[in-house]
C-alpha cells in the first residue's frame, strides 16, 4: 500500500523542518482564506534543484505584482536547509508565500504521467494578474475537473476567439503540417513557463497563435511543465495522434533531459531514471 506523502515527506514552515503531517499555519492567513499569495514548483534531481534561480526570479515578479514582500535571504536559506535534510533524492519542491507572511516549502515524490488526453475548455486570461503564479488556482482546477468528468486527463484552455492558450498547468506545443515546432506566444495570456524556455533555447520553435483548427491539424503535440517535463499528447478531443511520442516530442524530451544533466552535473542515465520513478 502506498503511504501518503504527508506521513513521510518533509516540510518547512518559516524555517522549521518537520513532517508534512504536523506542519500547520494559522487559519486566519489570507493565503488560506482568499488564495492571496504566490507559489513556485521546482523539480529536484538527486536533491539538486533545476533552474532554481529562474523560479525564484519569477516568484519575485509574482510577489511584486501582488504587492507581497519577497524574503530573498530567508527563502534561499530555508530551501537549502530542506534539501540538505532531504539528501540525494528525487523530489518536486513547492515554494509558497502567503499574505499572512508564512514561508512554506513542501516536497513531493515524482508522480507518474500517462500520455495526455486533452479536452478543450473555454476560458479567458485574467489580465490584472496575468503571468503571476498565485495561490488562486481554483479556476485551473475546475477546468481540469471539467476535463476529467468527460474522460480526459487535462484541460486545454481556449479563449473565446478560438485561440489556444495552455493546459491548466503546462505549456502547449504542436507540430504543424510542415513539421515546424510551434507554441503560443506569451501575449496570449499564458505563463512564462521555465520548461518552455528550456525547449525554446534547445530547439527551433516558432511562437505563433494557435487556433483550435491548428491543434486538430497538428501531426503531434506535447505539454511542457516542471513536473511533467515534456509530456506527450495522445489525444485532443476526438483527434487521436497515431505516433506517440512523435519525432519532435522525442527530440524535445532528449533536449530537455540533456539540459538538466548538463546544468546539474549529473549523468543522462540518472535523469532518465528519475523521470521513470
What's the mean pLDDT in 180-209?
96
Tens-place pLDDT, residues 104-125 = 999 999 999 999 999 999 988 7
Spell out the residues 6+ positions from residue 175 whose beta carbon is closer than 8 angstroms to its own: 181, 182, 218, 219, 220, 221, 246, 248
Give the CATH number of domain 5-108; options: 3.40.50.720, 3.40.50.1220, 3.30.420.10, 3.30.470.10.
3.30.470.10
**What is the rounded average pLDDT for all residues in the chain?**
95
Tens-place pLDDT, residues 54-77 = 999 999 999 999 999 999 999 999
Please give the model's pTM, rounded to 2 decimal places: 0.94
What's the mean pLDDT in 242-259?
97
Spell out the residues 6+ positions from residue 275 whose beta carbon is closer than 8 angstroms to its own: 110, 229, 257
Structure confidence at residue 137 (pLDDT): 86
Structure confidence at residue 164 (pLDDT): 97
Phi, psi of 186 (to 5 degrees): -60, -25
- Between 130 and 55, residue with greater pLDDT: 55
**Under 8 Å between Cβ of 45 and 267:** no
* pLDDT confidence tier of residue 3, bands split at 50, 70 and 90: low
Neighbours of 35 (CB within 10 A): 14
Burial 231-240 (b: 16+ CB within 10 A, else e): bbbbbbeeee
What's the mean pLDDT in 191-217?
97
* pLDDT confidence tier of residue 99, bands split at 50, 70 and 90: very high
- Between 8 and 163, residue with greater pLDDT: 163
**Under 8 Å between Cβ of 82 and 17:** yes
Q: Does residue 103 carry a pLDDT above 80?
A: yes
- Between 174 and 126, residue with greater pLDDT: 174
* pLDDT confidence tier of residue 1, bands split at 50, 70 and 90: very low
Q: Does residue 129 carry a pLDDT above 90?
A: no
* pLDDT confidence tier of residue 128, bands split at 50, 70 and 90: low
Q: Does residue 2 carry a pLDDT above 70?
A: no
- Class of the domain covering 116-263: alpha beta
Please tell me if the domain spanning 5-108 has the same topology as the one spanning 116-263. no
Domain-by-domain residue ranges, the chain? 5-108, 116-263
Q: Does residue 80 carry a pLDDT above 50?
A: yes
* pLDDT confidence tier of residue 5, bands split at 50, 70 and 90: low
Q: Does residue 249 carry a pLDDT above 90?
A: yes
Q: Does residue 6 carry a pLDDT above 80?
A: no
* pLDDT confidence tier of residue 146, bands split at 50, 70 and 90: very high
Amino acid at each position: 500500500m502506498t503511504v501518503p506523502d504527508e506521513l513521510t515527506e518533509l516540510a518547512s514552515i518559516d524555517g522549521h523542518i518537520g513532517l508534512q503531517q504536523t506542519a500547520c499555519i494559522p487559519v486566519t492567513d489570507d493565503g488560506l482564506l482568499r488564495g492571496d499569495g504566490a507559489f513556485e514548483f521546482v523539480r529536484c534531481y538527486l536533491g539538486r534543484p533545476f533552474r532554481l534561480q529562474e523560479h525564484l526570479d519569477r516568484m519575485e515578479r509574482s510577489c511584486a505584482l501582488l504587492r507581497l514582500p519577497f524574503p530573498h535571504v530567508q527563502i534561499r536559506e530555508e530551501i537549502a536547509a530542506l534539501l540538505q535534510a532531504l539528501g540525494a533524492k528525487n523530489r518536486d519542491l513547492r515554494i509558497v508565500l502567503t499574505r499572512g507572511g508564512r514561508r512554506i516549502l513542501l516536497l513531493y515524490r515524482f508522480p507518474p504521467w500517462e500520455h495526455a488526453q486533452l479536452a478543450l475548455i473555454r476560458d479567458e486570461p485574467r489580465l490584472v494578474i496575468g503571468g503571476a503564479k498565485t495561490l488562486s488556482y481554483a479556476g485551473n482546477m475546475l477546468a481540469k475537473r471539467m476535463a476529467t468528468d468527460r474522460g480526459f486527463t487535462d484541460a486545454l484552455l481556449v479563449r473565446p476567439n478560438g485561440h489556444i492558450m495552455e493546459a491548466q498547468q503546462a505549456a502547449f506545443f504542436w507540430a504543424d503540417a510542415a513539421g515546424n515546432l510551434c507554441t503560443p506566444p506569451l501575449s496570449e495570456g499564458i505563463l512564462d513557463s521555465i520548461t518552455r524556455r528550456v525547449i525554446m533555447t534547445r530547439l527551433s520553435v516558432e511562437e505563433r497563435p494557435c487556433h483550435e483548427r491548428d491543434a486538430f491539424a497538428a501531426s503531434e503535440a506535447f505539454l511542457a511543465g516542471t513536473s511533467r517535463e515534456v509530456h506527450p499528447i495522445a489525444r485532443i478531443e476526438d483527434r487521436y495522434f497515431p505516433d506517440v511520442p512523435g519525432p519532435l516530442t522525442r527530440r524535445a524530451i532528449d533536449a530537455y533531459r540533456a539540459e538538466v544533466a548538463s546544468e546539474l552535473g549529473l549523468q543522462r542515465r540518472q535523469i532518465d531514471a528519475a523521470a521513470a520513478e
